[in-house]
Homo-oligomer: A and B are copies of this chain.
Amino acid sequence: MLVRINTAPRMQIDGQLAALAGERMSCCEFRYRRGAEIFGEGEEPEYVYQIISGAVRTYKLLPDGRRQINAFHLAGDMFGFENETTHRFTAEAIVETNVHLMRRTSILEAVRHGGAGTKDLIKFVTQNLQHAESHMLLLGRKTSLERVTAFLIEMDERLQHPDVMILPMNRRDIADYLGLTLETVSRALSILRDEGLLRFDGNTQRRLELVDRGALAKIDA
Interface residues of A (CB under 8 A from B): 60, 62-64, 66-68, 70, 83-84, 88-89, 111-114, 118-119, 121-123, 125-126, 128-130, 132-137, 139-142, 176, 178-179, 221
* Cα–Cα distance between A139 and B140 once the two chains are bound (Å): 6
**How many identical chains are in the complex?**
2
* Cα–Cα distance between A68 and B142 once the two chains are bound (Å): 10
Chain B contacts for A83, CB-based, 8 A: 122-123, 126
Indicate the member of A84, A111, A136 with the most B CB atoms within 10 Å. Answer: A136
Chain B contacts for A123, CB-based, 8 A: 83
**Residues of A contacting B: mostly:** helix
Chain B contacts for A67, CB-based, 8 A: 141
Chain B contacts for A89, CB-based, 8 A: 133
Using A111-B119, A112-B119, A118-B118 as known contacts, say yes or no to A66 and B141 having CB atoms under 8 A apart.
Answer: yes
Chain B contacts for A113, CB-based, 8 A: 114
Of the candidates B88, B114, B134, B179, the one whose C-beta lies within 8 Å of that of A130 is B88
